[in-house]
A = this chain, B = another copy of it.
């Protein structure tokens, strides 16, 4: 009964829509049909918006049509939020109106025992060539087209894409990216993925210039071999970070009843990732952190990490983690120490790697970094700001502009100042992490990826 997935050449229909119908748009703010319409409007979508609901005349200022048939123009994308039984008929109407793609939010299909309804949808796909995301999904948000056909509302542009077999995992990462002004380029919740699956999207996103790294939450790939081939082709230019659940036998049982995925042995997937250059995240935070780091950092060829900190304890925690992540903390050469001694930095500073400035201002950080950056000390820099340090962002940006995208930041213990400075750095594409451990974890993945590329 399964339809073979064709090439992803027409996946772009989801991402360059000009006229969207929201079938099941609602006046009730608690209904998804309201939330999604509202988010499409609030996201700033520049194309046509057609809410469909037989009982309403106007929602959020937009005229409502009783059915798709009544829309006066063509549409190219349908977002469907109505009971499952009505979805096939609606999908046919959407095709007639010109839709080349549909996002089916509605649940009540395979996961509720209604495989027959899914097969009806697949018949329509086979007959008409329309492409489907879902059903039973949390939609798509594509910021370059300002089309947030999903929830919650996320509008901050970034360079990271999220593909997820869990709507919540996607929403969580997108929410963090929004809150700290890092941003995303795309977020896709796959749901039951009867048509478009994770590999189709990977293949499409591989050549999307708006995307620089891809975060994937995976319970199981439909076609493992194709997944690995597509991923492998991609990772030379665009890093792929995967959080794969079902690592334990209990998790595999749970995954089987969620997306009906057969998880397979975790060790095998792990080995395949290493072989094919896929970065594996340990948890949701790791998926976010690694994708941030890999979207923004271009390390040197080696594994040397230089740490500068105003928090001695944080420096030690960073070193501990660095050793575990395969990074090298080289001692500070004597000549650098000598130069630092003649520099305006705190008198109690520990002249080593980590360079512990103790309590320090942003300009003392800059003075020290001015000296360090005259030497070839490291393939990556980690600046740890521990305290509310105004001007931290300007110092980090200055260093990045001088030595290139080799600069990551951990900022902690800084309260409101920290939150503001982080937003400025994120605006500039410098990744900021909330602890030294999370920062180094991301840096380890950045270096591993670079080394993989150099060796393949």
The interface of chain A, by Cβ under 8 A from chain B, is: 32, 107-108, 111-112, 136, 151-152, 164-172, 175, 217, 219, 243, 245-251, 253-255, 257-259, 283-285, 310-317, 319-324, 329, 347-348, 350, 352, 354, 356, 358-359, 386-388, 412-415, 434-438
What chain B residues lie within 8 Å of A169 (beta carbons)? 311, 313-314, 317, 413
Query: Which one of B108, B165, B171, B312 lies within 8 Å of A386 (CB-CB)?
Result: B171
Please, how many angstroms separate the alpha-carbon atoms of A150 and B283 in the complex?
A: 34
Do A413 and B319 have beta carbons less than 8 Å apart? no
Do A387 and B171 have beta carbons less than 8 Å apart? yes
What chain B residues lie within 8 Å of A219 (beta carbons)? 313, 316
Name the CB-closest residue of B to A248.
B323
Query: Which one of B247, B319, B413, B415 lies within 8 Å of A320 (CB-CB)?
Result: B247
Do A324 and B435 have beta carbons less than 8 Å apart? no
Query: Which one of B254, B323, B415 lies within 8 Å of A315 (CB-CB)?
Result: B254
Query: Which one of B152, B168, B358 lies within 8 Å of A314 (CB-CB)?
Result: B168
**So how many copies of this chain end up in the complex?**
2
Please, how many angstroms separate the alpha-carbon atoms of A320 and B285 in the complex?
A: 15
Name the CB-closest residue of B to A283.
B437
Name the CB-closest residue of B to A114.
B348
Name the CB-closest residue of B to A255.
B316
What chain B residues lie within 8 Å of A321 (beta carbons)? 283
Query: Which one of B107, B253, B283 lies within 8 Å of A435 (CB-CB)?
Result: B283
Query: Which one of B152, B217, B283, B435 lies within 8 Å of A284 (CB-CB)?
Result: B435
Do B316 and A415 have beta carbons less than 8 Å apart? no
Given contacts A246-B316, A283-B438, 9 further A-B contacts (CB under 8 A): A32-B359, A107-B348, A152-B415, A166-B386, A167-B386, A170-B413, A172-B386, A258-B312, A258-B356
Please, how many angstroms separate the alpha-carbon atoms of A435 and B175 in the complex?
A: 13
Do A258 and B350 have beta carbons less than 8 Å apart? yes
Please, how many angstroms separate the alpha-carbon atoms of A23 and B32 in the complex?
A: 59
Query: Which one of B168, B255, B320, B414 lies within 8 Å of A248 (CB-CB)?
Result: B320
Looking at the assembled complex, report how far the CB atom of A364 sits from the nearest CB atom of chain B, in whole angstroms: 12
Query: Which one of B108, B167, B313, B322 lies within 8 Å of A165 (CB-CB)?
Result: B313
Name the CB-closest residue of B to A263.
B316
Do A316 and B254 have beta carbons less than 8 Å apart? yes
Residue of A165, A249, A319 ringed by the most chain B CB atoms within 10 A: A319
Name the CB-closest residue of B to A390.
B30
Residue of A151, A254, A284, A285 ringed by the most chain B CB atoms within 10 A: A254
What chain B residues lie within 8 Å of A152 (beta carbons)? 388, 413-415
Do B166 and A314 have beta carbons less than 8 Å apart? yes
Name the CB-closest residue of B to A387.
B168
Looking at the assembled complex, report how far the CB atom of A16 sits from the nearest CB atom of chain B, in whole angstroms: 27
Please, how many angstroms separate the alpha-carbon atoms of A436 and B243 in the complex?
A: 13
Query: Which one of B217, B259, B311, B435 lies within 8 Å of A167 (CB-CB)?
Result: B311
What chain B residues lie within 8 Å of A352 (beta carbons)? 254, 257
What chain B residues lie within 8 Å of A175 (beta carbons)? 412-415
What chain B residues lie within 8 Å of A172 (beta carbons)? 386, 412-413, 435
What chain B residues lie within 8 Å of A435 (beta carbons)? 172, 283-285
What chain B residues lie within 8 Å of A253 (beta carbons)? 319
Please, how many angstroms separate the alpha-carbon atoms of A388 and B323 in the complex?
A: 39
Residue of A172, A251, A438 ringed by the most chain B CB atoms within 10 A: A172
Do A348 and B314 have beta carbons less than 8 Å apart? no
Residue of A165, A168, A170, A412 ringed by the most chain B CB atoms within 10 A: A168
Name the CB-closest residue of B to A282.
B437
Please, how many angstroms separate the alpha-carbon atoms of A358 and B108 in the complex?
A: 11
Looking at the assembled complex, report how far the CB atom of A412 sits from the nearest CB atom of chain B, in whole angstroms: 4
